[in-house]
Amino acid sequence: MYFLYVDESGDPGKHPFASNYYILSGIVINQENWLTTLSRLKAFRKSLKEKYGLNQRTEIHAAELIRVNKLKEYCQIRKTDRINILKDYSLQIPVIFDTSKIINICLKKSDFQDTSDILLTAWKRLIQRFDNYLKKEAKDKGLIISDDTDSLKIMELMRKMRVYNPISSHYSSNPYNSPTDNILEDLFQRSSGHSYFIQSVDVIAHLLYRREFIKGSLRKYGLEKQFDNLLPVLLTEASKNDTMGIVRK
């Protein structure tokens, strides 16, 4: 059995303050490596406490580490050190999750004529890649675990794709049906505050955002380069059109 832990960066909305992108990242973990990975995450969090004074129970939230809003515990740590926490995380992810694979969906809203279903578009891409991995590489079944999201929409999408999932064919103008039947059950939701795994995916999604949409004021910290450290565990097969496997369409 494989677990796919998922989190997002940006939002799928159309309101005036909506982001111009929507990112979904997921990390695939084999059940046999789950306890080992958890032990490594605990050891890493202990090292962050010793190095930066970050309590092991304090949620890691990448955007908040850069600009504190709700997590007042971060105010006790200098901004340079908070950003160094993200840098340390980027270096440790390939070590902690050495047997895992990371799937990334990065949709720029301006590339789509209709963004009303950008959330479902991103989730469909993610579900398809996870199912492909389960069928071709893992040859096993899987479950999806996510931070809070629109679970009803995702549930309906997953149930539909499990029965009917048309895929464009390279050999015919007619699509063929490829049901995502290696993914079991509906979406499971877990609060990120209680899951080191989802917090890790939050970091991954945010590092991808910093790579794709560079903010000039943060260049001095080199945050736009940190996602590249994840290359050893990226599922590069997820996209033939991107060297790092990032799905963009």
CATH 3.30.420.10 fits 2-238, yes or no: yes
Please tell me the predicted confidence (pLDDT) of residue 148: 83
How does pLDDT run across 144-199, given as a tens digit for each residue? 999 988 889 999 999 999 999 998 876 677 888 999 999 999 999 999 999 999 99
Q: Write the DSSP string, 143-157.
A: EEEESS--HHHHHHH
The Cα 173–Cα 5 span in angstroms is 35
Q: So what's the pLDDT on residue 16?
A: 63
The string of pLDDT tens digits covering residues 4-38 is 999 999 988 877 677 889 999 999 999 999 999 99
Locate the domains of the chain by residue range.
2-238
- Note whether 207 and 227 are within 8 A (CB): yes
The mean per-residue pLDDT over the stretch 66-85 comes to 93
User: Which of these, 87, 204, 106, lies nearest to 147 by C-alpha position?
Assistant: 204
Segment 32-71, tens digit of pLDDT: 999 999 999 999 999 999 999 999 999 999 999 999 988 8
Instruction: Give the rounded distance of the alpha carbon of 49 from its chain centre.
Output: 24
